[in-house]
């Protein structure tokens, strides 16, 4: 039995300690917005926040996460789906198939929280998630729109 | 009229039991959900909210449900097809929702929804007429119902935004008020359609209907399905295609956590079925399996390349396009130019790996899966279960990427049914690991091409022989469609003048032929299909010829395109927008190309630079498309941008190699794809000329690579003839 703080709630989970956090989130906790894409931290579809840092949950064993660490998944990013990044995604009609977009949004939200004035170069360096539909141009536009809006950042 | 939505959703829940069970059990989250698989159609079958016709259901509260037979996989067909129906229906767009009818329902109703196949960019181009007629007929019936109520001629009534009005008397009725009566009216026989110039919903850059739940994690993909009592399966198929399982030691892993079953799947695969997928995968990785790798275990990329090379000069080849006497033209040429190109296997690499959920009992076999062709999924379920189609059903789920992988072949559906049949009454979800997905793709076909061009003393092209050697997708998937050894799909973009995939040049003496060589690696329809490499071969070689003739690549092409006005117009549109011929910043160079396929004409100009140490940067792409009619310009622009990502991924990195009969690449660390960092600015030039319906999901992919390859030549003087580009040394000599 392990304790996890997920989206502001303390949960008891039953899984082997070497189970990747991704599969604990998907199969034990039942939150499926976080996706499996590669299992080797290449594609970023599994990105969640751990204490605000974008983390590829497919390659992080349950053992390595403590009850004190705050895990946020796409479902917990905002109470109403209206986080500035989510709103920008809707405004710019970013997703195509949508499968990678949870990870894309979580990576972006963490980037802009840490670096609210992210430049194109910052975005290119930090947003390394794979999207096979090819939404990159719209992802970039949406991120720059959030930056221009100035709604994110550590006060 | 009665709304039975509550009753029907209860029925569907108890029958299919699609609840977020473990989330509820965890106590912390309570987002129960149902899967919208044909719930309206199911309610209709139970006589609840009556449909106006197969395409349109209108609720008393005016909600419009438009049925979509094609699959949504990101390309926006759900929105585009709904726009076409709504346009003719004259309904309030803000009230529109969509749903999939199931293939089983379609079979039961004489295929009333037509073809479910969603590939070849045919979603809109092959169903626009009958779906628009569905919307128009429904509008006529709704108007007739109102006219009947008012006892006035229907011709005196009009409909707009879901409201029918009788101008003379000032009366009005909402669609929802007359829907039940309209459903009882006989369908009109003569259903005229609007002139596209009068469109107010279709043709407009409307936002997609399906975006919001892709931003908050609530959208359910096949991989996310849950059912009470469901088990999870991981699978390993023999890594050498055509090989078999010799033996496996189930006892070695039986005691591992969660493991319920260790089962054979056909004669080539083994599955572990467990409580969770992670447990299943972990146990499968630990399972000792002995493979009989069979006769192909010695095949390598090198041996395949040598085999295809022999085909470049083989005496026997099937002609795809021919005029004049190319042999004589080459023999009598002032100059001949010759070049050999090659294009590798590639994996579709959908972000969502192959998966399906099945529930089998001796009376019924049901499958839930992301598929590009619901009917093909149903057929696969029937075949694998041994039950008649009437006792099977397939429920479509929006795809986490398709690109052709989830269309013609439903190998994963057969697998899940074979597994479910061994544990009757228990729903089982099969998910392929990324590694399994990489090893067992249906790969972009392997080909080489030898081109010989004849130039006269003035540098005019007098003859062209294009010999393609290599794999046929059709021979691998639909061998019955090979007539006299000819695979017509091999000649995409190279066909004689006509409405589909025709060559854009008139060459006085032309021969394009194919020497078929089919490796054991299974081929598949891969987004863009054969247009991709054919455009690389022809458009790179056109560039070679232009340079050899000392002519501008655009002017050289134009001289051959006088009889191909649509090809030429789109080439000109790209060239103009890119300001072809005008100076660029120092170190930046252009390349240009054009092709035609999937019903549309496309052209592109790429601007690239190559650093002294050989690093390529693609700065800007201008891409022109003439799809005939443009149903949603905003989504077309997204398809064009996405096509460049897919096409540039393929040309920059895409390569599956074979060693010891098996695929060498197992994940994205060795099968690289393009990321945001490499994304160039893409400017979409939409030049719809009307009068025809072309696709937009694929054609642009084919111009991504040749535009960049030709620009690389302009920048470096290096002609890359073997893809992908990553294998080429671009360092300045």
| Residue B47 pLDDT level (bands cut at 50, 70, 90) | low
Report which secondary-structure segment, H or E, holds B171.
strand B171-174
**Is there a domain that residue A154 lies in?**
no
How buried is residue B165: exposed, middle or buried, by Cβ count under 10 Å (0-12/13-18/19+)?
Answer: middle
A7 and A62 assigned to the same domain? yes
CATH number of the domain encompassing residue A117: 1.10.150.120
User: Is pLDDT above 70 for B46?
Assistant: no
A13 and A61 assigned to the same domain? yes
A58 and A42 assigned to the same domain? yes
For the stretch A136-151, pLDDT in tens is 999 999 999 999 998 8
For the stretch B527-569, pLDDT in tens is 999 999 999 999 999 999 999 999 999 999 999 999 999 999 9
Cβ B28–A33 below 8 Å, yes or no?
no
The mean of the pLDDT values for chain B is 93
Q: Where are the domains of chain B?
A: 50-214, 222-294+354-431, 301-346+443-727
Cβ A128–B669 below 8 Å, yes or no?
no
| Residue B309 pLDDT level (bands cut at 50, 70, 90) | very high
A60 and A108 assigned to the same domain? no
| Residue B10 pLDDT level (bands cut at 50, 70, 90) | very low
A12 and A71 assigned to the same domain? yes
Final residue of a domain: which of A46, A76, A106? A76
Residue of B707, B578, B685, B577 whose CA lies nearest to B626: B685
On whether any CB of chain B is under 8 Å from the CB of A90, the answer is yes
**Is there a domain that residue A7 lies in?**
yes
Each residue's pLDDT expressed in tens, for chain A with a length of 155 residues: 899 999 999 999 999 999 999 999 999 999 999 999 999 999 999 999 999 999 999 999 999 999 999 999 999 999 999 999 999 999 999 999 999 999 999 999 999 999 999 999 999 999 999 999 999 999 999 999 999 998 887 54
pLDDT (mean) for B209-221: 97
Instruction: Name every chain B residue with its beta carbon within 8 A of the beta carbon of A127.
Output: 676
Residue of A89, A107, A116, A127 whose CA lies nearest to B679: A127
User: Is pLDDT above 90 for B35?
Assistant: no
- What is the 3-class SS of B19-60, one letter each residue? CCHHHHHHCCCCCCCCCCECHHHHHHHCCCCCEEECCEEECC
Residue among A6, A11, A37 with most chain B CBs within 10 A, to mutate? A37
CA distance B636 to chain A (A): 12
pLDDT (mean) for B452-461: 98
**Is there a domain that residue A155 lies in?**
no
What range defines the domain where residue A114 resides? 84-149
CATH code for the part of the protein at B222-294+354-431? 3.30.365.10
**Is there a domain that residue A136 lies in?**
yes
A96 and A55 assigned to the same domain? no
A60 and A97 assigned to the same domain? no
CA distance B399 to chain A (A): 7
Which range is least confidently modeled, B2-11, B124-133, B333-342?
A: B2-11
From the list A15, A19, A89, the residue facing B215 with the nearest CB is: A89
Number of folded domains that form chain A = 2
pLDDT score of B41: 55
Instruction: Name every chain B residue with its beta carbon within 8 A of the beta carbon of A23.
Output: 276-278
**Is there a domain that residue A53 lies in?**
yes
pLDDT score of B3: 34
A70 and A22 assigned to the same domain? yes
pLDDT (mean) for B23-50: 44
From the list A73, A77, A132, the residue facing B401 with the nearest CB is: A132
For the stretch B244-303, pLDDT in tens is 999 999 999 999 999 999 999 999 999 999 999 999 999 999 999 999 999 999 999 999
Packed helices B411-422 and B374-385: angle between N→C axes, nearest 10 degrees: 40
Q: Token match 């073809």: residue? A: B115
Final residue of a domain: which of A76, A101, A121? A76
pLDDT score of B48: 74
CATH number of the domain encompassing residue A18: 3.10.20.30
User: Is pLDDT above 60 for B38?
Assistant: no
Q: Is B301-346+443-727 in the same CATH topology as B222-294+354-431? A: yes
pLDDT (mean) for B347-352: 98
Distance CA B109, CA B105 (A): 6
A71 and A88 assigned to the same domain? no
Instruction: Name every chain A residue with its beta carbon within 8 A of the beta carbon of B646.
Output: 132-134
- Complex confidence, ipTM: 0.98
| Residue B44 pLDDT level (bands cut at 50, 70, 90) | low
Q: Is B227 helix (H, G, I), strand (E, B) or coil?
A: coil
On whether any CB of chain B is under 8 Å from the CB of A114, the answer is no
Instruction: Name every chain B residue with its beta carbon within 8 A of the beta carbon of A98.
Output: 74, 210-211, 214, 219, 398, 400
Cβ A27–B641 below 8 Å, yes or no?
no
Domain covering B50-214 assigned CATH 3.30.365.10 in the classification: yes
Cβ B23–A29 below 8 Å, yes or no?
yes
Instruction: Name every chain B residue with its beta carbon within 8 A of the beta carbon of A100.
Output: 351
CATH code for the part of the protein at B301-346+443-727? 3.30.365.10
């Amino acid at each position: 039995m392990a304790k996890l703080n997920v989206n502001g709630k303390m949960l008891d989970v039953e899984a082997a300690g070497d189970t990747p956090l991704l599969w604990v989130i998907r199969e034990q906790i039942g939150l499926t917005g976080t996706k499996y894409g590669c299992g080797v931290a290449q594609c970023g579809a599994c990105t969640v926040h751990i204490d605000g840092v974008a983390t590829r949950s497919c390659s992080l064993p349950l053992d390595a996460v403590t009850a004190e660490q705050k895990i946020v998944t796409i479902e917990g990013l905002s109470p109403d789906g209206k986080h500035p990044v989510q709103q920008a995604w809707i405004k710019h009609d970013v997703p195509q198939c949508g499968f990678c977009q949870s990870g894309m949004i979580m990576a972006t939200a963490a980037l802009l929280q840490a670096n609210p004035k992210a430049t194109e170069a910052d975005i290119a360096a930090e947003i390394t998630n794979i999207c096979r539909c090819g939404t990159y141009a719209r992802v970039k536009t949406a991120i720059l729109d959030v930056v221009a809006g100035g709604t994110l950042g550590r006060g | 009229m009665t709304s039975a939505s509550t009753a029907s959703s209860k029925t569907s829940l108890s029958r299919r039991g699609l609840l977020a069970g473990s989330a509820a059990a965890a106590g912390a989250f309570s987002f129960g959900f149902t899967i919208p698989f044909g719930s309206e159609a199911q309610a209709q079958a139970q006589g609840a909210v009556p449909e106006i016709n197969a395409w349109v259901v209108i609720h008393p509260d005016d909600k419009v449900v438009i049925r979509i037979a094609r699959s949504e996989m990101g390309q926006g067909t759900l929105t585009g097809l709904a726009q076409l129906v709504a346009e003719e229906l004259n309904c309030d767009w803000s009230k529109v929702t969509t749903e999939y009818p199931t293939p089983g329902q379609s079979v039961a109703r004489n295929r009333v929804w037509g073809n479910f196949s969603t590939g070849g960019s045919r979603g809109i181009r092959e169903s626009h007429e009958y779906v628009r007629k569905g919307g128009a007929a429904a509008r006529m019936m709704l108007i007739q119902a109102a006219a009947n109520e008012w006892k006035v001629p229907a011709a005196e009534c009009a409909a707009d935004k879901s409201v029918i009005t009788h101008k003379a008397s000032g009366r009005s009725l909402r669609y929802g008020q007359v829907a039940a009566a309209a459903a009882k009216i006989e369908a009109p026989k003569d259903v005229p359609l609007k002139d596209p110039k009068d469109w107010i919903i279709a043709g407009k850059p409307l936002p997609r209907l399906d975006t919001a739940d892709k931003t908050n994690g609530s959208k359910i993909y096949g991989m996310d399905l849950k059912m009470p009592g469901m088990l999870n399966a991981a699978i390993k198929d023999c890594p050498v295609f055509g090989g078999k399982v010799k033996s496996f030691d189930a006892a070695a892993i039986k005691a591992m956590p969660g493991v319920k079953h260790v089962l054979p799947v056909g004669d080539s695969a083994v599955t572990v079925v467990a409580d969770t997928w992670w447990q299943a995968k972990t146990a499968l990785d630990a399972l000792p399996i002995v493979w009989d790798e069979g006769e192909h275990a010695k095949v390598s990329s090198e041996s395949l390349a040598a085999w295809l090379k022999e085909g470049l000069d083989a005496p026997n080849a099937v002609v795809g396009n021919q005029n004049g006497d190319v042999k004589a033209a080459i023999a009598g040429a002032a100059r001949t130019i010759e070049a050999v190109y090659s294009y590798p296997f590639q994996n579709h690499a959908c972000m969502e790996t192959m998966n399906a959920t099945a529930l089998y009992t001796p009376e019924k076999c049901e499958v839930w899966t992301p598929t590009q062709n619901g009917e093909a999924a149903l057929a696969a379920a029937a075949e694998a279960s041994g039950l008649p189609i009437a006792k099977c059903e397939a429920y479509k789920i929006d795809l986490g990427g398709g690109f052709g992988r989830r269309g013609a072949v439903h190998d994963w559906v057969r697998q899940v049914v074979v597994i479910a049949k061994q544990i009757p009454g228990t729903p089982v979800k099969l998910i392929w690991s990324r590694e399994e997905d990489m090893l067992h793709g249906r790969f972009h076909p392997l080909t080489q091409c030898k081109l010989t061009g004849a130039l006269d003393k003035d540098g005019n092209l007098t003859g062209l022989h294009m010999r393609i050697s290599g794999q046929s997708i059709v021979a691998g998937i639909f061998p019955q469609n090979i007539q006299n050894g000819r695979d017509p799909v091999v000649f995409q973009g190279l066909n004689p003048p006509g409405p589909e995939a025709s060559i854009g040049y008139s060459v006085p003496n032309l021969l394009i032929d194919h020497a078929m060589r089919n490796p054991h690696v299974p081929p598949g329809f891969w987004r863009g299909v054969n247009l991709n490499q054919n455009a690389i071969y022809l458009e790179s070689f056109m560039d070679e010829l232009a340079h050899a003739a000392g002519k501008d690549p655009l002017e050289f092409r134009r001289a051959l395109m006088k009889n191909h006005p649509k090809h030429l117009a789109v080439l000109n549109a790209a060239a103009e927008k890119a300001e072809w011929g005008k100076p660029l910043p120092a170190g930046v160079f252009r390349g240009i190309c054009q092709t035609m396929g999937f019903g549309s004409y496309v052209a592109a100009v790429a601007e690239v630079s190559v650093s002294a140490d050989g690093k390529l940067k693609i700065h800007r792409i201008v891409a022109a498309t003439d799809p005939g009619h443009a149903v949603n310009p905003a989504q077309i622009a997204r398809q064009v941008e996405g096509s460049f990502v897919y096409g540039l991924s393929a040309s920059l990195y895409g390569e599956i190699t074979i060693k010891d009969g098996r695929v060498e690449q197992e994940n994205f660390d060795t099968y690289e794809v393009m990321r945001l960092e490499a994304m160039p600015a893409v400017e979409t030039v939409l030049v719809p000329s009307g009068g025809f319906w072309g696709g937009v999901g694929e054609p642009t992919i084919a111009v991504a690579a040749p535009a960049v390859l030709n620009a690389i030549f302009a920048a470096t003087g290096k002609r890359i003839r073997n893809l992908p580009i990553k294998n080429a040394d671009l360092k300045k000599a």
